[in-house]
A and B are shown apart, each in its own frame.
Chain A
Amino acid sequence: MSTRTLEVALATPSLDPRGHPTTVPLGVALPAYHAPQDDQGGEHMLINIGPQHPATHGVLRLVIELDGETVVRVVPHIGYLHSGFEKLGEYRHYNQIIPLTDRTDYLSPMANNVCLALAVEKLMGIGITERCQVLRVVACEISRIISHLVWLGTTGIDLGAFTPFLWCFYQRERLYNLQEAWTGARLTTSMTRVGGLMADIPEGFEAGLRDFCRTFPKTLAEVDAMFTRNAIWCGRTQGVGVIDGPDAINYSLSGPMLRASGVDYDVRKDRPYLGYESYDFDVPIGEHGDIYDRYRVRLEEMHQSVRILEQALDRLERLRGAPINVDDPRLILPPKHRAMSDMEAMIFHFKQVMEGVKAPVGEAYLGVENPKGELGYYFVSDGSAKPVRWRIRPPSFINLACLPKLCEGVLLSDVIAINASVDIVMGEIDR
């Protein structure tokens, strides 16, 4: 075993012999010839966008070096929403980690719950029931639509179009109502459990979702009519923030960002989980890798999600009354009335609550296609009921990394548009 040392440039402000700062006054070590010129009296202007700014989608901070209105460089700063989720996870039983996942990508909590449950089930080698699979697909696709609606609306606002935002949020409310009926919460859903689900869907959920699937495409068509052929929208988005396929792969992009660049990769198709291979849906692929293609890919993905939801609803009808949890008392808590009246059930209840569910020694990684890209959860287990390491692969963090490249030489307004097109959520980036 050899130890690896890393040379880390310390962020102490200092000047080189020519008097230029060798570090950006923001803590990023850069070669002197790259260092931004001093704000006062220099040709360039440093402008700070965020962490409190209407267009940074959370607490992202962008320090932009401007030459007139042309962007010379963008330095993103993150960490304003750091919560230490990964470390917190090491002190919790696997089921107790689920509430933490709600708060990472807070625009699609149900999809995160599903990913965590799947990863732990992979670690433990558990299979789940068919109805549970279908319900988790429903959860994932609802989350996808919710997240994309937020993206669509806020991106519209960033480009100055306010009205579609409220159309999108109106539809999102309908999904949130369904989500609330199912899980009891609009944001902190915590709806999965290892080996199953917290609860089955309530009465009327299917009818509500069917109604949504029927009427929602109308809203999409309205937004489509507002944007897709709008000369201003095209002018603002086409050819802006372009990243080509090879670069997108090198930057490890995933999700709509990657597919807009023409790379055909969707976890649901390439490493299917939850039986996605048995659903009939298309994966939209862009070709130019600009904001416009990202917009169109996401718009089309919502249509495809509706298709998946319709198929899932048909399956749910067939599976009505089927169990949602695996039949294993070591994994699934017994019902309360049995725990209070039945000796054996009480023992299982006690052991699960006090000790947790033990996972075998080993490691597991599972990636799912989250709305923002490939979300991966990686667990290392030492055989106890708590992971020794929980690592999240946050899609928006990795997608955000290409922002400085995309923003080179564009105008200030484009930075906002490009930042919006990446579709970030800070809870996930800072974790």
Chain B
Amino acid sequence: MTPELKGLLLVSIIKLLVVFTVTMIGVALLTLMERKVSAWMQYRLGPNRVGFGGLLQPAADGIKNIIKEETFPGMANRVLFMLAPALAFIPALTLGSVIHWAAPLPVNFDFTLPLLGRFVHTGLMPMAVADLPVGILFVLAISSMGVYGIALAGWSSNSKYALLGGLRATAQMISYEVAMGLAVVPVLLLTGNVAFGEIIRAQQVGGFGWFILPLFLAFHNFLVAGFAETNRLPFDMPEAESELIAGYHTEYSAMKFSMFFIAEYTNMVTVSAMVTTLFLGGWDIPFTHWDETPGVLQTIATGGMMFLKVFFWLFFFMWIRWTLPRFRYDQLMALGWKVLMPIGLAYVMLIATAIYLIENVAGISSGLVKMLVLTGINVALGYIVFMVLDRGLLIGGSRERGAASGGLGRRAA
């Protein structure tokens, strides 16, 4: 093994451990945050008994889940029943490895250890566990794997509630995969690359070239599909606790149950990081080019920026969850197939045409101007989609009645 390879291995292992630990602790704290945010919205205090202000509540939950009894439903398929939580958990964690959490860090070392030999690393180290050249494709591929865990959990539990939950989850995640894939395509069209590093770099034009404005509809579709992929309200059909008790994890107890929760929250982090990377410039600090020159300070600052952005989206997830009611199953599928997919398809065509026209016909080469023109197009499209097409028609109940149409008839005194 060459010293360079050993050096690469060393930093990779360190990054792996750091990302894994931070993710697990972050997820634990996210459960606390969810409870605190919901409490804040509902005139409550939330957990405040364990530790200072309830900070140790996740630890208490973790201990409880570990020492609880493992139960198996009668006639359940034990192997798959045990396997399912892991199958949900592993893809969720794997996805965290391709996210770029900060600007690349210059790492130079050259030292020799007894027995292990010489380690060498020079140049920039991307702040992702694996800086895959196929970044986004990897995410799409692995996130589909999460379906297996849920479908198998539903099937192997030998419970009708779990089965229905698992079926719903499978159909839902496969449907929204399509919408999600279509929402990513415009980003790839603008970037011309599928690697996350390149996507972030493409959003640094003029200090503020985030794709959220020039690709607003794609951003919107991606966010909606992201909600559906994570099975969070208003798309929490698979769980739908008022109908299916707890959906696919009805029969699970103790740590296996916890695994599904960790997977859900990890997915939330991943989707938040994806939204940030694809549409909010990743670790980019807006209105400055200072963060693009490598350095330790820059890495720390961009890491903080990334954290802020991801944190905002995590809060957004919770905000939505504690605000909206749940879709019905058919409405959810209709939204995915009849609304998001056609819009996504048409949008890909429009953006592709627009980029062609801008670059080849109008001959504009300035990135900033291109972004501005696309933003203009998106304002027009957004107006058409949200103001003209929607108006409660896309997801409304019956078409004859708009929301709250017609006052109640009243009999006066």
Contacts and interface: CB of A to CB of B under 8 A. Distances in A.
Interface of A: 45, 47-48, 53-55, 69, 156-163, 165-167, 170, 226-240, 262, 264, 266, 269, 279-288, 292-293, 296-297, 300, 411-414, 416
B396 to A, nearest CB: 6
Interface stretch (B73-81, B181-189, B281-289, B323-331): B323-331
B234 interface: yes
Chain B binding surface, main DSSP class: loop
B410 A45 contact: no
Interface string B40-77: 01111000000000000000000000000000000000
Interface residues on B, range: 35 or more
A-B pairs with the 10 shortest C-beta distances?
A: A160-B326, A238-B397, A166-B42, A239-B398, A285-B409, A161-B325, A55-B242, A159-B325, A282-B410, A284-B408
Interface stretch (B132-140, B272-280, B399-407): B399-407
Given A167-B43, A240-B397, A283 B160 contact: no
Nearest to A278: B413
20 contacts: A160-B324, A162-B322, A167-B43, A228-B403, A232-B324, A234-B397, A234-B404, A238-B397, A239-B397, A266-B411, A280-B413, A281-B413, A284-B410, A286-B408, A296-B404, A300-B408, A412-B329, A413-B329, A414-B328, A416-B243
Contacts of B242: 54-55, 157-160, 416
A45 B160 contact: yes
Nearest to A53: B245
Contacts of B42: 162-163, 165-167
Contacts of B406: 287
Given A234-B397, A235-B395, A239-B398, A285 B325 contact: no
B164 interface: yes
B38 interface: yes
Contacts of A237: 397
Given A284-B410, A286-B408, A287-B409, 15 more contacts: A47-B161, A47-B164, A53-B245, A166-B44, A228-B404, A235-B328, A235-B395, A236-B325, A266-B411, A279-B413, A285-B409, A285-B410, A300-B408, A413-B240, A413-B328
Given A236-B397, A269-B411, A285-B411, A47 B160 contact: yes
B412 A282 contact: yes
B199 to A, nearest CB: 32
A182 to B, nearest CB: 24
B213 interface: no
Nearest to B322: A163
B413 A412 contact: no
A54 B397 contact: no
Contacts of B413: 279-282
Contacts of A165: 42
B306 interface: no
B38 A54 contact: no
Nearest to A260: B408
B241 interface: yes
A373 to B, nearest CB: 17
Contacts of B327: 232, 235-236
Contacts of B117: none
Contacts of B233: 160
B222 to A, nearest CB: 20
B177 interface: no
Contacts of A162: 38, 42, 322
Contacts of A167: 42-43
B49 to A, nearest CB: 19
B236 interface: yes
Given A163-B322, A238-B396, A238-B397, A55 B160 contact: no
